[in-house]
Amino acid sequence: MYKNVHAIVLSSERVFEKDKRLSLFTREKGRLFAVAKGAARPGARLGPATESGVESCFRLWMETDSPFARVTGGAVVTSFPNVRKEWTRMSTAHYFCEWMGQLTALLHPHPEKYELLHRALGALETADVTCTRMAFLIQFLEKAGYRVEKDVFGSGYDIQWRFWVENLKSWNFDPGFYLPGLKNSACHLEEQLLKFVTPLLARPLKALVHEKKLHHYRKTVIGYR
């Protein structure tokens, strides 16, 4: 049967020269897989709508309770253009999409997680990347049912961190809320989150692996700091 959905493209892979295999996170049906015939051809009408990190509306043909679909039509809702102008923002967008792909169940609608991903990608266009990453990760875990204070940080979660995290949860990135040295230590906070989540992952996050390799290359080979 045909279904109309709003979806964020989590990943897009070229197959059979002219087609694309997609992983979608939809507001109406949750996460599912789809094939877009002819979308990889130069100038294809579905090409822009099937790029990774883009929000699109799709018309799908799918069997009831099947996680596989065929794209029969679609159009871009928003492509988050400013994210694509800067490498760190684009790699973080792929990081969010891969995270959502590995840590959400197939055909399990969760409008709150959909809105969280949409808001995080929108924030990446202009907001501080470090703050956006932390805001997304913390809120995702809370929506998944974890208690960030007790389950993740434990005794290491002091009042300063709590103050900062509460502002991130409300998407308040006002620099006036940063305490001295707090933002510079955010990478340590993210490491704790990743350490907690790693046992739940089917495989390492490729976006994060590639990001670390490129940072290492830029630092050691071309002297970028």
Domains of the chain: 2-79 (2.40.50.140), 82-220 (1.20.1440)
Q: Is the pLDDT of residue 180 over 70?
A: no
Task: Give the pTM.
Answer: 0.87
- Contacts of residue 207, defined as CB under 8 A and 6 or more positions apart, other chains included, come to 91, 94, 95, 97, 98
Q: Is the pLDDT of residue 147 over 90?
A: no
- 18 CB-side CA count, 13 A: 6
**R_g of the chain computed on alpha carbons:** 19
Q: Is 64 helix (H, G, I), strand (E, B) or coil?
A: coil
**pLDDT band for position 158 (50/70/90)?**
low
- Of 148 and 139, more confident: 139
Q: Is the pLDDT of residue 65 over 60?
A: yes
* High-pLDDT (> 90) share of the chain, %: 53
- Residue 134 CA to residue 153 CA, distance in Å, equals 13
**What mean pLDDT is reported for the chain?**
85
C-alpha pair distances (Å), 122 with each of 127, 132, 198: 9, 10, 26
Strand pairing class (19-26; 68-78): unpaired
- Residue 62 CA to residue 3 CA, distance in Å, equals 7
